[in-house]
Amino acid sequence: MKIATFFRKPLARRVMLPLILLALPFSLFAKDEASYNVDDYTGWAYKKDSSFSVSEGKLKLSVKQGTGSFCIYAINEKGSEIPLLSAYDSFSSNHFGVRIGKHEYNLNRESGVVCQSRRTPYGAQLSYTIKKQGIVVIDFTFMPSDSSSTVADVLRVSAYLVNLGKKKQTFSLKGMFDTVLGEPSGNHFITATNDQIDKEVQFDSMNEEKWICSTNGETSVQFLLKGKGINPTHEVTLSNKDTLSKNSWVPSVKTSRSFNSVLSYNNSALCVNWPEIQLEKNDSKVITFYISVGTDSEAPAGDEFLSALEEGRTVLHECEPKDFSYLFAGVEEEKKVKKPRKDALGAKWWVGMPNIASYYEEEEEDEEGLDADGYAEASKTSAENASLESANATKNSKEAKAAQNAKSSSNSSSKSKAKDEPIVITEEQLDTKYIHNLINYIKSLENDSELIDQEELNRLNKELDAILEKIRSMN
């Protein structure tokens, strides 16, 4: 997914910047307007900070700029904060790593890696820069597992990988999480299919396991690693923390080995390796997963949240209101302006949030059109140029799937009739940013077998064709 390309164009930057800033909660940036920035590669607006903590609902996140590390806490009904990961030594055992080509970089105290911690309206970020090689931005966004709730009990973790090299490079990401909750009982981890893990194990697929949970019975943390919009993993390893820290890029395990080492006893940790990705110069890719928490003897809502993701019943909707003025309006004025759609959370910190992946809802398409995360007032000529360039890149893959598309389109007579009906294109769908995100989403579906939904792919390709035809007819 080439998120960065559109934001780097001078025209797009001039048009999008004011709109992005208008979408932000006023209270976060009102005091010091000069202190905020907008990341050209990710679209996020943020304020620089050093080391800080931020809380929402059942979650607290602490980040440290000096070490580039982080820690996550659960907040129970009494307001007590329970560490879900090791909080010792400035959280140094919780961190990410990146491999660019043959060079590996631990994103904590690593020489040559510049770390910056950031506040966002939705949580926090850690940005790491490897000079002339790449950028990694780890975004932590609070959200509820239930779209009808305003209590955050889930963290969306999104890692942006950006190639700053002079040529195409291979990137791969690794996450290290020093879990603590399951260690006292000896039952260190559970998964969707295994309710007791007390020895080293490695999963080359999470298709069956789906998630990794560490719990003490009272408090739980659950890493959701398989589901709609969650990037497939390469290897998921449960082992002793010191073994994982000193091992190769992809750890090797002995299935009979306990979680003990010479340096530490009963000290387990989770390591997640994601597959290699190829990035052209200045291109970017996003890797996303979720962390769910449970408190007061309640299990995390991971399974319910994964089902909601699959069915589109979450706060992660693309259709944000075009008019953000209600964020700044008084009580009387607020009644007159447009509100978020009925399926959005409606909480201020979600409005204008940059999108990670697009899950369009067919029932809303005819109502107002779909504008992913920007409403640029670009010219129709610019829209045509941007869309035609990317459309040519997707032409071959669409033709290669033509037979499969035809097969899936004949599932029922009612669906076939619906597809034969002409598509009405709105002004919003002619927007350059909308077209760009639509094309990128089509590409992501075509390139990722885990995400592909053939019926949705057919519909989106048909929508793109209709948009291009509309643009041609206007010239």
Amino acid at 454: Q
Q: Is residue 410 scored above 50 in pLDDT?
A: no
**Which pLDDT tens digit goes with each residue over 208-251?**
999 999 999 999 999 999 999 899 999 999 988 878 877 689 98
Residue that wins the pLDDT comparison between 58 and 16: 58
The pLDDT value recorded for residue 464 is 85
Residue that wins the pLDDT comparison between 71 and 240: 71
**Ordered structural domains, the chain, with CATH:** 4-10+28-309 (2.70.98.40), 315-473 (no CATH)
| Strand-pair partners of 159 | 138, 287
Q: How many CB atoms lie within 10 A of CB 151?
A: 12
Q: Is residue 402 scored above 60 in pLDDT?
A: no
Q: Is residue 190 scored above 90 in pLDDT?
A: yes
Amino acid at 182: G
Tokens at 241, concatenated: 């923390």
C-beta of residue 54 within 8 angstroms of C-beta of residue 411: no
363: left (phi over 0), alpha (psi -120 to 50) or beta: alpha
User: How many Å from the N-terminal Cα to the C-terminal Cα in the chain?
Assistant: 30
The pLDDT value recorded for residue 109 is 64
Tokens at 327, concatenated: 């964020």
The pLDDT value recorded for residue 459 is 80
Mean pLDDT on 58-74:
92
Q: How many CB atoms lie within 10 A of CB 229?
A: 20
Q: Is residue 271 scored above 80 in pLDDT?
A: yes
Which residue from 226, 125, 136, 220 is spatially nearest to 174, judged by alpha carbons? 136
Q: Is residue 438 scored above 80 in pLDDT?
A: no
Residues 6+ positions from 202 with CB-CB distance below 8 Å: 235, 236, 237, 238, 239, 251, 253
**Which pLDDT tens digit goes with each residue over 93-144?**
888 999 999 999 989 766 678 999 999 888 999 999 999 999 999 999 999 9
The fraction of the chain above a pLDDT of 70, given in percent, is 64
Give residue 20's pLDDT band: very low, low, confident or very high (50, 70, 90). very low
Q: Is residue 431 scored above 50 in pLDDT?
A: yes
Give residue 450's pLDDT band: very low, low, confident or very high (50, 70, 90). low
Please count the CA atoms within 13 angstroms of the CA of 84 that sit on its side-chain side: 32
Residue that wins the pLDDT comparison between 173 and 352: 173
Give residue 392's pLDDT band: very low, low, confident or very high (50, 70, 90). very low
The pLDDT value recorded for residue 288 is 94
The pLDDT value recorded for residue 265 is 59
Give residue 452's pLDDT band: very low, low, confident or very high (50, 70, 90). low
